[in-house]
Amino acid sequence: MPLANDVFVGAIDQGTTSSRFLIFDKDGTPVASHQIEFKQIYPHSGWHEHDPAELISSVQQCIDEAVKIFLRLGHSLDAIKSVGITNQRETTVCWDKQTGEPLYNAIVWTDIRAQELVREIKKRDGADGLQQLCGLPLSTYPCCTKVLWMLENVPRVKQAYDEGRLMFGTVDSWLVYQLNGGPHKNVHVSEPTNASRSMFMNLETLDYDERLLGFFKLDRNKITLPKIVRSSDANAYGTLATGTLKGVPITGCLGDQSAALVGQKGFSPGMAKNTYGTGCFLLYNVGEKPVISTHGLLATVAYYFEGKPVYALEGSIAVAGSGIKFLINNLDFVKESSKINDLAATVDDNGGCVFVTAFSGLFAPYWIDECRGTILGITQYTQKGHIARATLEATCFQTAAILRAMAKDSGASLAELAVDGGMSNSDLCMQTQADLIGIPVKRPAMRETTALGAAIAAGLAVGVWKGLEELREVNMVGSTVFEPKMVEEKREGMFGRWEKAVKTCTGFGAHFL
């Protein structure tokens, strides 16, 4: 039987390739979970979509299945005090204000169909000053260009806009809206770590900026944007309307990368984490004032609980785990992701191969939309193991480039890098990472830090945890530290070869779109 003071928090983790629901105890340990992969839609080269209805149904199914496990363990539903949400960020959903029905598939953050549109927008007066307001450079990555593409190319979206019926949201907004019951409750909110990815939000005011909306030629009377609220709030997100947790409040929300920083307890300026998921994202806590990068990084909101918001510098890598999926699904190298590590370990090095995994162009710190995936240095000696190792190294090289840029922007070098996400399970990959950045890499024993961050945001709002100090020791036992072993001369030589490879593969994108 559960103790009377047992309390738990649920966490929806809606990612790029799967949805999950986890239930955490007060010590930050997941006691039950369920995960469902959903369909990835690729209508054309460079296009990537999700079915918005499937995002909702997969989340609802995960909640119900995880709760079944929770109850079988002898726990009570009443012990689950609240639910938090973490989600893929720039993925863009447009739906009908009257019916709540999606007007088009969700356009995923990796999608580059707006590449030509971005080139045209960059010519507008004022384009150079956008990043100072919102923290993001103009590219195919943020939501704004996805919305503009839909307005130009999807008649249903354009008609809804003209008639004032168009609702826009990132995935967090879409989930909250639908989980509350859709247009009947009309809970249409977002929070700064997600809202900042639209390029519509001012980083300083944490509200929509008329200068930004004006630049993108959007009429606020024709498009309904979600109200921006705090990342942790007892009332703003409503309650679950259906399912086994009907009536349980949603009390926290964080974009996935901010959630991972919170889950790693990166609460002090100078702390950083790197999450190796479908893509790879490095966040560096810069404190209560945003730092606008001059070296190819993004300025973003780390979290906004009580008091002042906390900001971060971010380095975004488009391809990490999806590079491994490419070797499995497209080239049939192995049958499952966990075997890539073993394949890469069959060789001592990359055999001279460099794989620039620019399937969607290159993100930070390069921001080259015209790059495409390129394997360089292949000879008759090249084996599958060499390409597998080069695939792991591609993420590590880009992380090294981001850390070099962060040192220039912040004026300080990182002392240690906290890591999580699927690829962090590979000892070979994490040792390679430590070697290529020249600082220790620290991996927690419990690696569900993104979902834990969402649970923390939700739990803080309802008093499961009284404050950040109470959380500092959560998930600290059993960490593994990878110390760098590579000499500096070799590290610099390998990084120089990577940079040369990046230049070599630039300019290929225009031939495919």
pLDDT digits 0-9 by tens, 70-117: 999 999 999 999 999 999 999 999 999 999 999 999 999 999 999 999
pLDDT (0 to 100) of residue 477:
76
pLDDT (0 to 100) of residue 348:
93
Whether 115 contacts 189, CB under 8 Å:
no
Contacts of 91 (CB under 8 A, 6+ apart): 16, 50, 106, 107, 108, 109, 170, 171
Whether 319 contacts 394, CB under 8 Å:
yes
How far apart (Å, rounded) are the C-alpha atoms in residues 369 and 487? 33
| Average pLDDT for 49-55 | 98
Strands 189-190 and 227-228, bridge-based pairing: parallel
* Strand intervals (E) in 159-294: 166-170, 189-190, 201-202, 207-208, 223-224, 227-228, 250-255, 272-276, 280-287
How far apart (Å, rounded) are the C-alpha atoms in residues 368 and 4? 56
Average pLDDT, the chain: 93
| Pick from 143, 194, 135: nearest CA to 315 | 135
* Residue 126 exposed, middle or buried by CB count within 10 Å (0-12, 13-18, 19+): exposed
Helices (H), 356-504: 384-410, 427-437, 449-461, 488-504
Question: Which of the 8 DSSP states describes residue 35?
Answer: E
| Pick from 296, 301, 305: nearest CA to 286 | 301
Q: Exposed e or buried b for every residue in 366-382, given b needs 16+ CB within 10 A?
A: bbbbbbbbbbbeeeeeb
| Average pLDDT for 455-472 | 91
Banded pLDDT at 490 (limits 50, 70, 90): very high
pLDDT tens digits for 175-234?
999 999 999 999 999 999 999 999 999 999 999 999 999 999 999 999 999 999 999 999
Residue 269: what residue type? Answer: P
Residue 167: what residue type? Answer: M
Whether 103 contacts 53, CB under 8 Å:
no
Helix, strand, coil: what percent of the chain each, to 5? 35, 20, 40
| Average pLDDT for 432-453 | 93
Is the pLDDT reported for residue 281 higher than 80? Answer: yes
Q: Exposed e or buried b for every residue in 86-121, given b needs 16+ CB within 10 A?
A: bbbbbbbbbbbbeebebbbbbbbbbbbbbbebbeeb
| Pick from 215, 181, 186, 185: nearest CA to 198 | 215
| Average pLDDT for 144-156 | 98
How far apart (Å, rounded) are the C-alpha atoms in residues 365 and 191? 26
Beta bridge partners of 239: 249
Cα dist. 402→149, 272, 397 in Å?
A: 29, 12, 9
| Pick from 243, 235, 328, 325: nearest CA to 278 | 325
The two three-digit tokens of residue 467, written as one number? 């404050």
Other Cβ atoms within 10 Å of 162 Cβ, number: 12
Cα dist. 51→39, 65, 105, 359 in Å?
A: 8, 21, 5, 22
Banded pLDDT at 5 (limits 50, 70, 90): low
| Average pLDDT for 359-382 | 89
Is the pLDDT reported for residue 342 higher than 80? Answer: yes
pLDDT (0 to 100) of residue 391:
96
pLDDT (0 to 100) of residue 509:
61
pLDDT (0 to 100) of residue 335:
87
pTM of the model: 0.89
pLDDT (0 to 100) of residue 147:
98
Cα dist. 473→11, 259, 263, 461, 477 in Å?
A: 20, 17, 11, 19, 8
Is the pLDDT reported for residue 450 higher than 50? Answer: yes
Is the pLDDT reported for residue 511 higher than 60? Answer: no
Is the pLDDT reported for residue 2 higher than 70? Answer: no
pLDDT (0 to 100) of residue 473:
76
How far apart (Å, rounded) are the C-alpha atoms in residues 100 and 486? 55
Whether 438 contacts 413, CB under 8 Å:
no
Is the pLDDT reported for residue 4 higher than 80? Answer: no
- What is the CA angle 239-242-244, rounded to 5? 100
Number of H helices, E strands in the chain: 15, 23
How far apart (Å, rounded) are the C-alpha atoms in residues 40 and 19? 13
| Average pLDDT for 254-282 | 92
How far apart (Å, rounded) are the C-alpha atoms in residues 247 and 176? 13
How far apart (Å, rounded) are the C-alpha atoms in residues 310 and 79? 31
Contacts of 58 (CB under 8 A, 6+ apart): 14, 18, 19, 36, 38
Banded pLDDT at 143 (limits 50, 70, 90): very high
pLDDT (0 to 100) of residue 474:
80
Whether 109 contacts 91, CB under 8 Å:
yes
Other Cβ atoms within 10 Å of 53 Cβ, number: 13
The two three-digit tokens of residue 39, written as one number? 């369909």
Least confident stretch, 31-45, 92-106, 347-361, 463-477: 463-477
pLDDT (0 to 100) of residue 479:
87
Least confident stretch, 35-44, 393-402, 438-447, 464-473: 464-473
